[in-house]
Amino acid sequence: MTEKAYSKGTEFPPLGDGKLRLYSMRLCPYAQRTRILLAHKKIPYETVNINLKEKPEWFLERNPLGMVPVLEQDGKVIYESTICNEYLEDINKQNSVTPTDPYRRARDKMLLEINSKFTTAYYKALMSLKGEDAKSTIEAVHASLVPLEKAIVERGNYYGGEKPSMLDFLLYPHYERIEAIRTGFHADLMPIDKFPKLNAWVSRMQTVPAVKETMFDTQTHIDNPGQFLNDNEKVYGHLSIESPYIELVTNFYKFVRSQGQDQEAQTELNKNLEIFEKAIEKRGAYFGGDKVAMLDFFVWPWFERMSPLKAMNIEMLPEDKFPNLNQWVARMRNLPAVKAKLFDDQSHLIFMKSYSSGQPNYDFGL
């Protein structure tokens, strides 16, 4: 199969029964996360590269967010890099890289969340390499790396200790590109004197067979400056945002802060809600199907706040556009666990008014 990227208007390449396919983009660090794990676990698969600026219609049918990586096999579609990797671990137990200790797994997820601050700062710095705020954005990258340097000092050769773990594979791809930025664009995002252990970790990771199989050398990264200097949010489909849930929350607060005036935030919020509307339509009474699941509890709090916002002329969930979500909201309100923690509409309204004014009253009613 060709390594050239499929773009808008191209025909869907047939996928055989039982065959695992990865939708990717050769230089995308998020897709590389999954390519590394596939290589480590020696899982056979085929790759279909996607033009992320001119996405094929059939790709958007598989992932409405338009991002890579995406896995497909026998009609099952999985997307988001961390979710893809967790799924591969669950269905292929050989060469496992996930800690068995629940506390260690939780700590790893906390470090991955801390790393999201680095990736956000990383992209902001890249987009301002030639701007007036280049110095301050690079300093922000340095600040974001401090807890990651501390963690690798404490853990050993890898974040997994003496051998690479899932966390190492998820973190590594962005760090692979730092040397290209350092030598090709004269911006040192990770100075060796400030971050000796992180720099040593990158060198060590580049000796890991699965990483060697999937990595590009520094010159290749330098020769493809578009991955650094273009509008990265459009090229990669995200900065630090890696799920429609987080996009929903981000756009929810943008829209509230604007007191319902930010049309761009409303448009993006509607796109997020459409994803959840389609999902609940397919899944049933709850996102968990016939019974409530963790996802229902995760997303519920923001939906609880949408109804009282109508009193501020902020309409987020019109029934004609989102009938299934409105039914789900009504259903969730009747759950004993939700009812036990539910605030009434008036309480939400008081707080949201103070929040949108820029002076949130955290202690009202106390």
84 touches 71 (CB < 8 A): yes
Q: Two tokens at 169?
A: 């594979």
Produce one character per residue of 211-246: b if its CB has 16 or more CB atoms within 10 Å, e if not.
beebbbebeebbeeeebbeeebeebbbbbbbbbbbe
pLDDT given for residue 1 in this prediction: 62
Half-sphere exposure of 298 (CA within 13 A, CB side): 12
Fold entry, domain 102-236: Glutathione S-transferase Yfyf (Class Pi); Chain A, domain 2 (1.20.1050)
Residue 325 phi, psi dihedral angles, 5° rounding? -65, -40
Fold entry, domain 244-356: Glutathione S-transferase Yfyf (Class Pi); Chain A, domain 2 (1.20.1050)
pLDDT tens, position by position, 196-247: 999 999 999 999 999 999 999 999 988 876 565 443 333 333 333 345 777 8
**Mean pLDDT of the region 253-267:** 89
pTM, two decimals, is 0.77
Instruction: Exactly one of 5, 22, 25, 28 is catalytic; name it.
Output: 28
Q: Two tokens at 358?
A: 């820029």
DSSP one-letter string for 197-246: HHHHHHHHHTTSHHHHHH---HHHHHH-THHHHS-HHHHHS-SS--SHHH
Q: Where are the domains of the chain?
A: 21-91, 102-236, 244-356
Query: Omega into 191 within 30° of 0, i.e. cis?
Result: no
pLDDT tier at 22 (50, 70, 90 boundaries)?
very high
pLDDT given for residue 230 in this prediction: 41
DSSP H/E element including 72: strand 70-73
Cα separation, 166 vs 235, in Å, equals: 25
Active-site residue 84, yes or no? no
Q: What is the assigned CATH class of domain 21-91?
A: alpha beta
Same fold, 21-91 and 244-356: no
Q: Which residues touch 145 (CB under 8 Å, ≥6 apart)?
A: 118, 190, 194, 195, 198
Spatial strand order in the sheet of 46-49: 46-49, 21-24, 70-73, 76-79
pLDDT tens, position by position, 94-141: 999 999 999 999 999 999 999 999 998 998 888 887 778 889 999 999
Which candidate, 323, 267, 277, places its Cα nearest to that of 299? 277
Query: Percent of the chain scored above 90 by pLDDT?
Result: 71
Q: Two tokens at 52?
A: 């992320």
Which candidate, 119, 125, 163, places its Cα nearest to that of 145? 119
pLDDT given for residue 241 in this prediction: 33
